[in-house]
Structure 1
Amino acid sequence: MTDLRRDPADDQFRQEVRAFLAASLPPEMARRNRQGYHGPKEDTREWTRILHAKGWSAPNWPVEHGGTGWTLSQQAIFDEECTAAGAPMLDIFGLSMVGPLIYTFGTDDLKSRILPAFLRGEITWAQGFSEPNSGSDLGSLQTRAVIDGGDYVINGRKIWTSAAHYADLIFFLVRTGEGTRNGLSMLIVDAKSPGLAIRPIIDIRKEHSLNEVILDDVRTPVANRIGEEGKGWGYAKALLENERAFAAEIPRNRNHLATLRRIAAETIRAGRPLIEDPLFSAQIAELEVEFLALEFMTLRAMSQTGGGPSFGSLLKVRGSELVQRITQLQVEALGDCGAYLYSAEAHIAGEPQPAPGPDFAPGIWSEAMYRRASSIYGGANEIQRTLIAKQYLEL
């Protein structure tokens, strides 16, 4: 695929990243990550520690807060190479969501307590926004926090909370007043706090990545509030813009397309490789063209400021629907080998073990099923289209 955005100076950086990955990424860690989207918590921690020793554990942060200070092009190269090598996905909740909020709006005390430990791989995050009756419409959430002495006391329920069972800290959007614009605040809570219960939600893959979180008189210090009380709505909007832009998942989609081409090249249908079928190869070409357009749209969004939430919504809609089409075509290309390849016992044991089949087949079906939800999480695509119509097209 033609790559139009690089300048020659990036080639040396790419080689540096590749050499580092070859020397530092444990092979077993890479194998596990290639066969499942949600790798073990221990892998994420260990990989973060490895990157921290190199000074690379926050590739998208400014230098003054412990980041690399890399250009957008360098960030993209790093993400591409890590994904291609099978490196564990870093903690996106910390890196691209709550971390930037803390170093932008948090007190010096909060920054010093949280950020260095996160960069060392000592803190794993979860995000507590959605509720049983408040999903895309976060302004209607009902989980409430009231001040009692030096603490907030929190009561309510959160749903679809990814990785809460792994998390050390959870950042919650809670109600501290009335209304939307001035009635919400953002609080950090220890996941092991008394009164905080985490209930697993088992998905269609028989995997545990989602949770319901119950808060019953849970206490957290006022010092754990991010920014000002009542300003949580503005902080959440900025955070969700990052989440929706991330939904384009350029490095992972690039890797999915490479996997699709490999499947098509090695799968024999009617006596010839599937890639030689003109109708199937045309479908791949169409997806690659759409991916290239999405890639440039993402780079444009990353290079601009003040673009408004509609830009994140555009990326979210296009990226989530593209990955659904790519992963679905992977399953179709695999044919009989596209069936579920992990046993329930292996999942319960904590690490999926592949059944017999091509070495590229394990995890394909599981990933495709997981991606059915990509048009829902981070704000349903129907809601995003409404935002685009109102804020971008002014309809």
Structure 2
Amino acid sequence: MDLTHAAADQEFRHEVRTWLEENLSGEFAALKGLGGSGRDDEAHDERLAWNRHLAKHGWTCLGWPREYGGRGLSLYQQVIFHEEYARANAPTRVNHLGEELLGPTLIAFGTEEQKQRFLPGIAAVEELWCQGYSEPGAGSDLANVATKARLEGDEWVIDGQKVWTSLAQFAQWIFVVARTEVGSTRHNGLSFLLVPLDQPGVEVRPIVQNTGGAEFNEVYFTGARTKADMIVGEPGKGWGVAMGLLGFERGVSTIGQQVGFERELESVVALARENGSIEDPVIRDRLAKARADLEVMRQNALRGLADLEGGSDSAAGGGAGSIAKLVWSNWHRRLGEIAMEVAGAASLTASAAPYELDEFQSLFLFSRADTIYGGSDEVQRNILAERVLGLPREPKGAGK
């Protein structure tokens, strides 16, 4: 990736910054800072309107090819957009799963008919998607998927349960990893299906978190149906498609995520100055280390993206993706712990009855899950050990 700040890139950054300044006003001004981890269900309808406003003005699907409704921008220009978007404190977009995950997956693995059917609706933010991966017995270890699908005539019939399904209560479609070959185990016999949620065989139950939000859900399939051609890739070969999608999940949007982390760190530093805890040499040292680590994280993320663009790393969640997940999740978790130390005794009580949390308490509670969701630390380390370093596989039952 070329980071020399060419004149065209500087002009693009100015264009993005100016547009956001002019448009995050009026009816959209109150949306600044809304959404995000632990609060992704708040002001959903208002943020949906904002996301459609972005689409109307060409600010969605920036890296997609032009023939599929994107702008075909360079990787660095996509990074610029996500940086400026985060710095403007713009609301979290509601279309991440469609735009950043499923869309690129369909472009890479889908049929032309699937691309023509779904990509326009994603680009225009007219159809929202959620992700049907995790199950009660298959979280970070996705190969343990037990949800089943069988082909009956011209339809797949699906039975099973998914959990921790982000924003399923707002979505119209879900992409589901299901076991379609009887007797298959682990990575074999899985298929990647596109399933409509508005049907009698689907039940969505919100999960209320300890932060008070309910962005996650359980999704139950009882004889749910989708057409036979709503499969991405070949039957029984869905593992490769699912891993390809995870590679897209750790793409350019992570740079914007880190700008958000920077804003959170600044808030913690401001609190430390306000209550005097900045004078504690241990706290001051931890805050300084957090800032240095954040800059290292950014440089590592840019290097990883450059490797992906150059084809020297696996797009299916290889070394760069696993390293990035380990780094940012543990950094963010530590920041939540530092926030509680800075807040001191005040961190132990709710800011208002019956259970209203401040930004630092929400940061602490939600960041406890960072090292679990999206692939736990243990799974990421196994990926690096086995697939990158070539070490022997972990014995079954190890650690039990």
Q: Does 1:46 align with 2:10?
A: no
Identity, % of aligned positions:
34
CA contact (8 A) 1:157 1:212 kept: yes
Distance in 1, Cα, partners of 2:38 & 2:163: 23
Corresponding residue number in structure 2 for 1:118: 122
Distance in 2, Cα, partners of 1:343 & 1:122: 38
Distance in 2, Cα, partners of 1:368 & 1:256: 13
Corresponding residue number in structure 1 for 2:255: 250
Which residue identity is paired with 2:5?
D
Which residue identity is paired with 2:379?
I
Relative distance call for 1:123 and 1:363 in structure 2 (3 A) is: farther
From 295, 305, 313, give the equivalent of 1:307: 313
Distance in 2, Cα, partners of 1:12 & 1:277: 43
Distance in 1, Cα, partners of 2:135 & 2:271: 45
Matches within 5 A, 1:207-356: 207-244=213-250, 249-265=254-270, 267-268=272-273, 273-275=276-278, 277-303=280-306, 304=308, 305=311, 307-308=313-314, 309-335=318-344, 338=347, 339-341=349-351
TM-score normalised by structure 1 residue count: 0.87
Instruction: Compute the displacement of 1:343 (Å).
Output: 5.2
TM-score normalised by structure 2 residue count: 0.86
Corresponding residue number in structure 2 for 1:366: 362
Corresponding residue number in structure 2 for 1:389: 385
Q: Does 1:375 align with 2:371?
A: yes
Which residue identity is paired with 2:195?
V
Instruction: Compute the displacement of 1:34 (Å).
Output: 7.7
Distance in 1, Cα, partners of 2:65 & 2:23: 24
Instruction: Compute the displacement of 1:174 (Å).
Output: 0.5
Relative distance call for 1:322 and 1:6 in structure 2 (3 A) is: farther
Q: Deviations over 1:285-308 (max 9, x none)?
A: 211222222212211222222513
Distance in 1, Cα, partners of 2:370 & 2:11: 35
Instruction: Compute the displacement of 1:145 (Å).
Output: 0.8
Q: Does 1:146 align with 2:150?
A: yes
Corresponding residue number in structure 2 for 1:73: 76
Q: Deviations over 1:355-375 (max 9, x none)?
A: 8xxxxxx43321321121111
Which residue identity is paired with 1:312?
G
CA contact (8 A) 2:202 2:220 kept: yes
Instruction: Compute the displacement of 1:47 (Å).
Output: 2.2
Distance in 1, Cα, partners of 2:390 & 2:256: 32
Relative distance call for 1:64 and 1:274 in structure 2 (3 A) is: farther
Q: Which stretch has the larger CA shift, 249-258 or 141-150?
A: 249-258
Corresponding residue number in structure 2 for 1:160: 164
Corresponding residue number in structure 1 for 2:397: none
Where does the alignment leave 5 or more consecutive residues of structure 2 unmatched? 392-400
Q: Deviations over 1:80-118 (max 9, x none)?
A: 221122222232211222111112222222111211111
- 3-state SS of paired residue (1:223): coil
- 3-state SS of paired residue (2:200): coil
Distance in 1, Cα, partners of 2:278 & 2:16: 31
Corresponding residue number in structure 2 for 1:131: 135
Q: Deviations over 1:25-46 (max 9, x none)?
A: 2111115348964133323422
Q: Does 1:194 align with 2:190?
A: no
Instruction: Compute the displacement of 1:201 (Å).
Output: 1.4
Instruction: Compute the displacement of 1:208 (Å).
Output: 0.8
Instruction: Compute the displacement of 1:60 (Å).
Output: 3.1
CA contact (8 A) 1:198 1:213 kept: yes
Q: Which stretch has the larger CA shift, 256-265 or 310-319?
A: 256-265
- 3-state SS of paired residue (1:86): coil
- 3-state SS of paired residue (2:117): helix
Distance in 1, Cα, partners of 2:178 & 2:245: 15
Instruction: Compute the displacement of 1:276 (Å).
Output: 5.2
Relative distance call for 1:182 and 1:258 in structure 2 (3 A) is: closer
Q: Deviations over 1:183-221 (max 9, x none)?
A: 111111111121101122111112211111110000111
Corresponding residue number in structure 1 for 2:395: none
CA RMSD, 1 decimal: 2.5
Corresponding residue number in structure 2 for 1:348: none
Which residue identity is paired with 1:242?
F
Aligned positions, number: 375
Which residue identity is paired with 1:371?
S
Relative distance call for 1:115 and 1:291 in structure 2 (3 A) is: same
Where does the alignment leave 5 or more consecutive residues of structure 1 unmatched? 346-353, 356-361
Instruction: Compute the displacement of 1:151 (Å).
Output: 0.7
